[in-house]
Amino acid sequence: MTDTILTTTPAAGVRQITMNRPERKNALDRASYRGLIDAIAMAEADNAIRAMVLTGADQCFTSGNDIEDFVAVTDSGPRVAMEFLTAISTAKKPIVAAVEGFAVGIGTTMLLHCDLAFAGTGARFRLPFVTMGLCPEGASSYLLPLLAGSKRASELLMLGEAFGPDIAVDAGLINAVTPQGEALARALDKASALAALPPQSVTLTKSLLKRGATEAIAETIATESRHFGERLLSAEAKAAFAAFLKR
């Protein structure tokens, strides 16, 4: 397990998974994705664990994919980020997200695959895929129009402007806004409530809730990933990465 992903069991039946690279605003590099995949698999396999909480260290969720890792990509083939998206979108046990600070790129799209999500008043969300010369990922091009409506989805995915937790509630990305610094406590509370319920009934209900969209989500993740892999090598993306790293 990498030290950029921490796992703890803060309450009975609850596995907390913390993205922990505060000096990079918890940007997800390849090792971090691998750590997240392993952490989800371990929670899924552990009979004592009934719910997961996903959060970020130091009052920041995550600044998204590590841009230096984007720069290092040399071919458009499968990336570990896609494996992570498959893992989080097909997990059988419930996942509750706790967001403070930044949730950028995949930091926002992963919320589409969490069962519950809470964010503090200071949370800032952003889907800057077009800004970065890329394209949507994480099945966001399918799920966001469904949840938020097509106009809102186009606004968030095409313009890529930052938005706050009230819009995140409206767009169906989170359940509720908490006072700043209290998202994790709320998420742990809800995860504990889920962990206390009959576990087979909880996982059955999750699978029934997801059933109608399962195939479309998998197909969209695969299609977006193909385009995303090509976009990573594009001149538009290379220029955007260079501009970020030169700031």
Interface residues with ligand COA (CB under 6 A)? 24-25, 27, 63-68, 102, 104-105, 128-129, 132, 134, 244
- Grouping H, G, I as helix, E, B as strand and the rest as coil, residue 32 is helix
The nearer residue to ligand COA, 81 or 114, going by C-beta atoms, is 81
The nearer residue to ligand COA, 49 or 81, going by C-beta atoms, is 81
The nearer residue to ligand COA, 83 or 189, going by C-beta atoms, is 83
The nearer residue to ligand COA, 66 or 115, going by C-beta atoms, is 66
The nearer residue to ligand COA, 222 or 244, going by C-beta atoms, is 244
Rounded Cα distance, 47 and 12, in Å:
12
Please state the closest distance from residue 30 (CB atom) to ligand COA, in A.
12
Sign for the CA dihedral angle at 206, 207, 208, 214 comes to: positive
Tokens 């803060």 belong to which residue? 10
Please state the closest distance from residue 38 (CB atom) to ligand COA, in A.
21
DSSP single-letter state for residue 234: S
Give, to the nearest 10 degrees, the angle between helix 214-232 and helix 140-148. 120
Contacts 24+ apart (CB under 8 A), 70-76: 70/232, 70/237, 70/241, 71/238, 71/241, 71/242, 71/245, 73/229, 73/232, 73/233, 74/233, 75/229, 75/233, 76/226, 76/229, 76/230, 76/232, 76/233
Please state the closest distance from residue 102 (CB atom) to ligand COA, in A.
4
Please state the closest distance from residue 12 (CB atom) to ligand COA, in A.
34
Please state the closest distance from residue 242 (CB atom) to ligand COA, in A.
13
Q: Report which residue's Cβ sits closest to ligand COA.
A: 105
Please state the closest distance from residue 78 (CB atom) to ligand COA, in A.
17
Asked if residues 140 and 64 have their Cβ atoms less than 8 Å apart, the reply is no
The nearer residue to ligand COA, 32 or 178, going by C-beta atoms, is 32
Asked if residues 16 and 93 have their Cβ atoms less than 8 Å apart, the reply is no
Rounded Cα distance, 181 and 192, in Å:
19
Task: Report H helices in the chain.
Answer: 30-45, 67-72, 80-90, 106-109, 140-148, 150-154, 165-170, 183-195, 199-211, 214-232, 235-246
Please state the closest distance from residue 64 (CB atom) to ligand COA, in A.
3
The nearer residue to ligand COA, 131 or 203, going by C-beta atoms, is 131
